[in-house]
Amino acid sequence: MTFTPISADSHMDLMYLPPDTFTVRMDPAWGEAIPRVVERDGRKARVSGVCERHPRLRLVLGESGIGWLPYMLERLDDTYEERLADDLGLPLRPSAYFKRQIWATFQKDFHGVRAMAGIAPDNVMWGSDNPRRDGTWPFSQKAIEEQFRGMGEAVARKILCDNVRRVYGMAEPAVPARGA
């Protein structure tokens, strides 16, 4: 499967998507039932049917942090099941679309790392935001050690490098032979 990843940080409109991407197939009144913590387009992506209509679309919420995701995914699922499922008739819950098509990045988010490691470890990616002052650089290694201390190596590897390789189609770097 070939696709072009679209990475949009929280400061950018998703203007490069097809014009019908976020067309909402629901009564506008239901918009009030959807939690307002996440920005408008991200919310619509999960409950408007856009992910169902565009199953190959991949969204990356760059510089979004991840600590808010456990609550938001739970709340979106609850709201969908209690108030929107009959009207929208989507085959999956919003959290399932997130796990299939949406990723989020973070720099330092100790509690978010712990929570998302159990909820959706394949959908979060660490980043240093180098070299901006609000990033972890030049203390990135320390930030990684603190956040991932005690976490299983397989999950930490996913979040630190494997997920970004998979999302952006990057090859595993060649490791030089010892003694070479």
Whole-model pTM?
A: 0.73
Q: Given the structure tokens 């199953």, which residue do they identify?
A: 55
CATH class name, domain 6-16+26-168: alpha beta
Q: What tens digit of pLDDT does each residue of 78-105 get?
A: 988 998 888 888 899 999 999 999 999 9
Distance (Å, rounded) from C-alpha 72 to C-alpha 67? 10
| Per-residue confidence (pLDDT) for residue 180, from 0 to 100 | 56
CB contact burial 114-125 (16+ within 10 A = b; e otherwise): bbbbebbbbbbb
